[in-house]
Amino acid sequence: MVDCTAAMATHRNTVRAVALLLGLVALTAAVVVPAQAGGKSVALLGVHLQNDNEMYEPTSDAERARMVTVAEIFKHQLSASERYSFVEVPPDVQSKIAAGRTMGECGGCEIEYGQSLGSEIVAWITVQKISNLILNMNVYMADVQAKKILFVRSVDIRGNTDESWTRSIRYLIKNYLLAPSK
């Protein structure tokens, strides 16, 4: 009877070990395969509005909504190209980013975020608002492993509208980021 109980315990431990191993293999496959299948993995660290005229023209709810729209367009179009796939940036990391220094001005924190998120590339977008007539949109992408900027492009925006913001991000993506190589 004792031998039988010991054999059953050993069998249960073996089954648990195999199940744990299969679970780890499945988890690894779930994390690695989508990034490879969809191109280089990117962590979008946010869209930031630098409102140079905050005292006279505070950031509006419409501008906050436009930042969300710009991020969605950026992620959708790059994902659709199959050159890039996006790593989720969890809410706690988003909060840390929002509370910290501005991306591009934080002494390399972008790379640290990319490393902690396991992405190959980090990206961030800034919109500089001089006034409701003059704005500028900038897209930055950096290689996490090489710790080096890969892509920087900018467009000037005339008019602070949903249409001007969406046209600007689409133009940057189509004509620079995803433009065919010559």
Per-residue pLDDT of the chain (182 residues; tens, 9 = 90+): 444 444 444 434 433 333 333 333 333 233 333 334 569 999 999 999 999 988 888 999 999 999 999 999 999 999 999 999 999 999 999 999 999 988 988 888 999 999 999 999 999 999 999 999 999 999 999 999 999 999 999 999 999 999 999 999 999 999 999 988 76
pTM metric for this prediction: 0.77
Within 10 angstroms of residue 98's Cβ, the number of other Cβ atoms is 9
Are residues 152 and 140 in contact, defined by beta-carbon separation less than 8 angstroms? yes
State the alpha helices, DSSP H only, in 118-181: 162-172
DSSP code of residue 30: H
Rounded to 10 degrees, the C-alpha dihedral 141/135/103/71 comes to -60
**Which run of H or E residues covers position 128?**
strand 121-129
